[in-house]
Amino acid sequence: MRYNPLGNTGLFVSELCLGTMTFGNSPGQYAAASGVTQEQAEAIIRRGFDAGINFIDTANVYAGGQSEAMVGQALKCLGISRHQVVLATKAEHATGAGPNDGGASRYHLLHEVKASLKRLGTDHIDLYQLHGWDPATPVEATIRALDDIVRQGLVRYVGVSNWAAWQIAKALGKADLLQAERFQSVQAYYSLAGRDLEREVVPVVEAENLGLLVYSPLAGGYLTGKYRENKTEGRRATVQFPPVDEQKGEGVLAAMDKVAAAHGASLAAVALAWLRHQPAVTSIILGIKQPAQLDENLKATKLTLTNDDL
């Protein structure tokens, strides 16, 4: 397991991160990807930490907060020291039906960070990320609120998720003008089947030395090849996320077949190894439901691709 610096923080995170959108029973938009029980979550986290993973990513909206609570309970039950784990969570998406139950306002963020801390069972969050862009709140107001949260010691570092390059650049400029806490990371979708990020976001990430945290590295299971023959089972049969251009995707899978055969590896390992070789990528967020699935993904850490492979 390699450890990479997170932006300009001096903090090192494992190249693989345990994503927890699968934890709990989600009634909403994440239902198709959820279902992991507390016992299963503890087995996954234990296996991950035994393999050298020190990074966990969650969000206040995963299973209505249940995911955060399960992570906190798992760390306690497993006896994993708080100092050994880098905890990341998110806020901004709506947590209720009220007009102020979402967004990146001071009102919402101060309420949500305390709720997340309580569910996680900790006194601080290492990386607090905005889950999306809020067009209703001036970015200056959001930056000032996050800066205050950091100064209060509730959060160590801040980041963003699902932001466009111009939004990231604007926020960094405003933070510098205000002498406030800068964003240190960007969480975004990136995979062999979805490389749009390379056009504008990756150049910003590299220019500003931001940490790039990649989610859906297997394109919702598409890059494992399991949807070639049977498209009626699995997560993508219910929710086509992330969207994949299957006409182009067939060519990608064909190229991956050759690389996998040459290395005696699975398609999943090849897809993850390709991301490990991208200089901008700091950590790859895995969506795991079973320890055996994690074991398969961990094989990517031992897979070195040649220039021809890449």
244-248, Cβ contacts within 8 angstroms, sequence gap of 24 or more: 244/193, 244/194, 244/219, 244/220, 245/193, 248/193
The CB-side HSE value for 94 (13 A sphere, CA atoms) comes to 7
Question: Torsion-angle region of residue 219: left (phi > 0), alpha (psi -120 to 50) or beta?
Answer: left
Residue 3 catalytic? no
DSSP state of 182: P
Alpha carbons 34 and 27: distance in angstroms, whole number: 9
CB-based contact 218:224 (threshold 8 Å): yes
- Catalytic residue among 30, 62, 189, 227, which? 62
Alpha-helical regions (H) of the chain:
38-50, 66-78, 106-120, 139-151, 165-178, 197-208, 235-238, 246-263, 267-276, 291-298
- Residue 306 CA to residue 91 CA, distance in Å, equals 39
Q: How many Cα atoms occupy the beta-carbon half-sphere of 8 within 13 Å?
A: 11
Tokens 């498209």 correspond to 231
Active site residues: 62
